[in-house]
Amino acid sequence: MSNAAAIRPGRPALPEWVRRLPEYLTIWVPLLLSAAHLVSFSLWTIWISFTPSTLIPVTGWVGLRNYTAVAASRNWQIAFDNLLLFGCAFVVLSAATGLILAILLDQRIRGENVLRSIFLYPLAVSFVVTGTVWSWLLNPGLGIQKLVHDLGWTSFRFDWLIDRDMAIWTIVIAAIWQSSGFAMALFLAGLRSVDADIIKAAQIDGAGPVRIYRRIILPSLWPITITVVVIQLQFAISTFDLVRALTNGGPGIATQLPALVVYDLMFQRSLLGRGAAAAVLMLLILLAVLLPYAAWRYLQRRRAAHA
Amino acid sequence: MPDRTFAPSRIWIYLVVSLIAAAWLAPLAVVVLNSLRTNEEIAQGSMIGWPQHLAWSNYAAAWSGFCVAETCAGIRPYMLNSALITIPATIFSTLLGAVAGYAVSLWRFRGDTWIYGIVTLGLFLPQQMRLLPWTIVLRDIGLINTLAGLVLIHTIQGLSFTTLFCRNYYVAIPHELIRAARIDGAGFFRIFWRIILPLSGPILIVTVIWQFTHIWNEFLYGVTFTTGQQQPVTAALIALSAAVADIPQHGVQSAAVIIAALPTLLIYLLGGKYFVRGLTAGAVK
């Protein structure tokens, strides 16, 4: 390290660390604030989840009582079942839709850029906006059902929004519409990175397009598929705005999801300890998805390093 | 490319793609059309229909006329709130993230891998884990129910993304460049200002677009930490639909939805390439 500034004439020699103080502050303050808030806020929420806090946080220890209370509540059980159904259906269907869109766009078609923009634009809009719009379209008295009735087919029914058993599927529909474009973008990048020489060799061997997709292209996409699935699951687990705007958890509590339960416990029922416990449960669900993914990524990277 | 053709055998591809594209555009089209129909017209038919005459007055009402709760100032104050939250938070988090990304990728200091690892965990930690602590902290420092409080939250939380984006971009800059500059006596700030920043154009655009879109569209913090006149537009839209549940005003509401979505839609139309780059960069992590 040069000490040019310190030996420059006409200037008092400052100790190295004072001279570099602005630099240290600039580097450390934002990073430390970010890291410290992540660690301390997580620990803080975990701590609250073990206290008997209701309206305000209090000290005290109730062990796992908040957790058992949350897990035993009907609200959470419905939310958890909904998350399983919504998570699986949404992830599978949006990945499938994204893959189909990517394959279609990969056929060297005209207007590819315009089409890609169309499939991706929902991602630029807030879930509050799209949830509101879908709540109008799916409302039987306002939207698609009303339109079909007005056209003369009066026995037509599409009232999932007010049907306890089907309402969760309205959220699946809206979520697929909103984020299939994301899966498409990742799949398209994967399709474009398949080695062209291998495809050419297969064509020379007389393989048709269907065979080439099934045998060469699709198998090479599975690492991307896992990434897509994990990111979409992460989204599914924390879904809040979309449900808030589309069904607000209703009819009744038929479309309750964990994020809504957390909000309800913390800010509507003022049961902070239970709300914190529900938040920690959400984190655990997320970790159940992310930790295997991280392990898989680690193994992949190690294999690549050895290859 | 030479073989982008309309061969008859390929017509089905265009047919399928156009149908799906139409389905994707339909919700947008429905809201745009509704924003030009009067409330009465919508009440007589359905939400899906062609305007009989263009009711531009919906936009005036949505912008500055209709009432949310007790105040009748339209959506304008909430749009202003969102702008006053989003613009500073985007600038702060992008600048700090660029410096931090530069520090952990090219400057290197003791503990850099550790602190960077922890900061990027912020991409995964659910907001719900931070809700209570933020509530308590904001109340203690007197920023609860203020725009400044939301700017603070989005700046600190945005750092996880901005640091990651910039760091991943800067690692590709040759270290020799930095070493040579250091031998010439350039310090941390001079290297950032003279070498790093001029190279940062594309990544700063990606980061700004990403941050702006996310903060503008954010809802949970907005609805939790602010009430009434301090709310961002996403929270106000929900309050509006609750407020008009008795006497629906779907024409005006549609106009309000369009206005609220316009800033991020415009940014998407202008900088789509960078928007997608941010999406996929965030995905690869």
Each residue's pLDDT tens digit, A277-295 = 999 999 999 999 999 999 9
Same domain, yes or no: B23 and B108: no
The owner of tokens 């807030």 is A126
Q: Give Cα separations from A35 to A115, A284, B112, B116, B253 (angstroms).
A: 40, 20, 12, 8, 41
Show Cβ contacts of residue B109 under 8 Å, excluding neighbours closer than 6 positions: A27, B103
Q: Is residue B40 part of a domain?
A: yes
Which CATH number goes with the domain that contains B178?
1.10.3720.10
Same domain, yes or no: B82 and B50: no
Q: Is residue A129 part of a domain?
A: yes
Name the 3-class secondary structure at B102. Answer: helix
Q: Is residue B71 part of a domain?
A: no
* Cα pseudo-dihedral B149, B154, B156, B159, rounded to 10: -170
Interface confidence, given as ipTM, is: 0.91
Q: Is residue B180 part of a domain?
A: yes
Tens digits of residue pLDDT in A204-260 = 888 888 888 888 888 889 889 999 999 999 999 999 999 999 999 889 899 999 999
Same domain, yes or no: B56 and B163: no
Angle of CA points A248, B126, A260, to nearest 5°: 20
Query: Which residue range forms the structural domain that includes residue B148?
Result: 76-284
Same domain, yes or no: B54 and B86: no
Does residue A194 belong to the interface with chain B, where contact is any CB pair within 8 Å? no
Q: Quick check: B224 and A272 CB within 8 A?
A: no
Which CATH number goes with the domain that contains A238?
1.10.3720.10
Same domain, yes or no: B113 and B185: yes
Distance CA B187, CA B239 (A): 51
Q: Please count the structural domains in chain B.
A: 2
Name the 3-class secondary structure at B71. Answer: strand
Residue to mutate among B1, B11, B17, B112, with most A CBs inside 10 A, is B17
Q: Please count the structural domains in chain A.
A: 1
Same domain, yes or no: B115 and B240: yes
Q: Is residue A2 part of a domain?
A: no
Q: Is residue A195 part of a domain?
A: yes
Which pLDDT does position A216 carry in this prediction? 86
Same domain, yes or no: B32 and B147: no
Name the 3-class secondary structure at B68. Answer: strand
Higher pLDDT, A150 or B21: B21
What is the Cα gyration radius of chain A? 26
Query: Which residue range forms the structural domain that includes residue A213?
Result: 73-248
Does residue A14 belong to the interface with chain B, where contact is any CB pair within 8 Å? no
Are B243 and B253 in contact by the 8 Å Cβ rule? The answer is: no
Which pLDDT does position B284 carry in this prediction? 55
Same domain, yes or no: B187 and B217: yes
Q: Is residue A3 part of a domain?
A: no
Q: What is the mean pLDDT of each run of 10 residues along chain B (285 residues)?
A: 56 91 95 90 84 88 78 88 97 96 89 92 94 95 95 96 94 90 90 93 93 96 92 91 75 93 95 84 61
Q: Quick check: A126 and B264 CB within 8 A?
A: yes
| Helix locations, B103-200, DSSP H | 112-121, 128-140, 147-170, 175-183, 188-191, 197-199
